[in-house]
Amino acid sequence: MSVVGTSPFIKPMTSPSSVSPGQRRHTLPASEFRPLNTQDAISVFEIEREAFISVSGDCPLHLDEVRHFLTLCPELSMGWIEEGRLVAFIIGSLWDQDRLTTDALTLHKPHGSTVHVHVLAVHRTFRQQGKGPILMWRYLQYLRCLPSVRRAVLMCEDFLVPFYRKSGFKVLGRCAITVANLSFTEMWYPISGHAYMRRNSEAIRFPQLTSPLERPGTAGERADT
C-alpha cells in the first residue's frame, strides 16, 4: 500500500526548548508517533499481554501474530513513543469483506479497502492520561492519507462500545467471531475525504476523551482494539 504523503502525520511531536551554549541537547524527541516494525514486537506484546490477560485470559494478537502483521503491513500500525519508550500502540491490517470473520484475525488482504484494527493498548504506567483516545484519533486521521482505505472496523466487548462511539465509531451489530465464552460488538468508522491535520502536526490539539481502562478491549481483542 502506498503511503506517499503521510510523513507529516507521523512526524515527531516536539516542544521547542532553549538550550544554552555548552548544554547537551536530548537526542530523543520528547514524543513521537511512528509506524512499528518487527524490532518493536516484544515491547508491543509485553504491553498487550499485561493489558489483556488479566481481563480476558488471552491476547488479541500473540507474539508470532504481532511479528506477522508488522512484517506484512507495518504502515497500518502506529506507536506512541516517549523518550525512546513505547507507551501505546495500534496494530491494523487490510480486510476485503463487509463484515469480520475468523480469517480477519490472522490475514492481511493487500487489496482490501477496510482496515481491521486488531488491538489498541496503553502501557499500564501511562493509562488514565487520555492516551488511548488520542492515539486512536491520530491513527484515524493518518488512515485518511491512504487513498485505497474507505473505512476502519473493529470488534470489542460491549463495555467498550461507548469508548469507541466517542472516537466516532458506529455499531454494525453483533460480531460473527466469538472467543471462548466471549462475544463482541462489531463497529466501523468511515474514512473519507482528505486528512485535515496541518502539516505542522505539532500544533494539533487532540480531543480530550477518556477511557475507563484505556485498553480498548479488543479493538480487536480476540478478545479485543
Catalytic entry in 120, 135, 140, 146: 120
CA distances from 221 to 62, 117, 186 (A): 11, 9, 11
Annotated catalytic residue within 43, 56, 77, 93: 93
Q: Which of 118, 135, 143, 189 is catalytic?
A: 118
Is 118 among the residues known to form the active site?
A: yes
Kindly name the residue from 139, 142, 164, 189 that is annotated as catalytic. 164
- DSSP lists the bridge partners of residue 121 as 89
Which element (helix H / strand E) includes 25? none
How deeply is 60 buried, as exposed, middle or buried, from its count of CB atoms within 10 A (0-12, 13-18, 19+)?
Answer: buried
Any catalytic annotation for residue 209?
A: no
d(CA 36, CA 76): 9
Burial class (CB in 10 A: 0-12, 13-18, 19+), 114: buried
- Does the annotation count 18 as an active-site position? no
Q: Which amino acid is at 156?
A: C
Within 8 A by CB and 6+ apart from 177, the residues are 100, 101, 102, 104, 105, 155, 184
Q: Which of 31, 62, 63, 107 is catalytic?
A: 107
Q: Known catalytic residue: 120?
A: yes
Indicate if 172 belongs to the active site. Answer: no
Strand 114-122: give its sheet, edge to edge.
31-34, 77-82, 85-95, 114-122, 151-156, 182-190, 170-179
Query: Hey, which residues are catalytic here?
Result: 93, 107, 118, 120, 164
